[in-house]
């Protein structure tokens, strides 16, 4: 089965798009490794073999939080003149999703990094 998609209707209705879909299907049907062209060509043992094959899903995800707090007192002649305080929060979320089906492996990786910081200065 061949599925060819497009975003707009005016492209999907053009004869060139129909010709592309037909040409792709004919190329696949002409391939010597294709076992079946129609539903009737599929053997019962092939269907049973496909039913036994199970999909494998692997999913990893994790969070990393980094919190940094720095502060400094500025003294002049023994008296506190300025207090500087810096906060930095770093939040990292990583996700790896692996899907394995027969001879195809799909790997999706998502990484989100969020950094938030603020500085306080007290005089």
Nearest one of 75, 92, 93 to 84, comparing CA atoms: 75
- What confidence score (pLDDT) does residue 53 get? 61
For the residues of 27-54, what is the DSSP string, one character each?
A: HHHH-TT---SSGGG--HHHHHHHHH--
Q: Where are the beta strands (DSSP E) in the chain?
A: 56-76, 79-101, 104-122
> CB of 71 within 8 A of CB of 85?
yes
Per-residue pLDDT of the chain (123 residues; tens, 9 = 90+): 677 888 788 788 888 888 888 888 888 888 887 777 777 888 888 777 767 666 777 877 888 878 787 877 777 766 767 778 888 888 888 888 787 776 677 788 878 888 878 777 776
Q: What is the CA radius of gyration of the chain?
A: 30
Contact assessment for residue 88 and residue 115, using Cβ atoms and an 8 Å cutoff: yes
Q: Note the pLDDT of residue 106.
A: 79
Return d(Cα 34, Cα 50) in angstroms, integer: 15
Res 78: pLDDT: 65
Q: What is the pLDDT of residue 88?
A: 84
The pTM for the full model equals 0.37
């Amino acid at each position: 089965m061949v599925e060819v998609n497009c975003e707009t209707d005016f492209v999907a209705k053009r004869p060139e798009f129909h010709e592309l879909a037909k040409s792709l299907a004919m190329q696949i049907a002409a391939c010597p490794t294709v076992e079946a062209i129609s539903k009737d060509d599929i053997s019962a043992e092939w269907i049973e073999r496909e039913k036994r094959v199970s999909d494998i899903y692997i999913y990893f995800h994790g969070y990393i939080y980094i919190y940094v707090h720095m502060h400094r007192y500025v003294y002049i002649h023994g008296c506190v003149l300025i207090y500087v305080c810096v906060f930095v929060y770093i939040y990292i979320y990583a996700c790896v999703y692996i899907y394995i089906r027969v001879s195809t492996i799909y790997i999706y990786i998502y990484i989100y990094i969020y950094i938030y910081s603020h500085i306080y200065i007290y005089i």
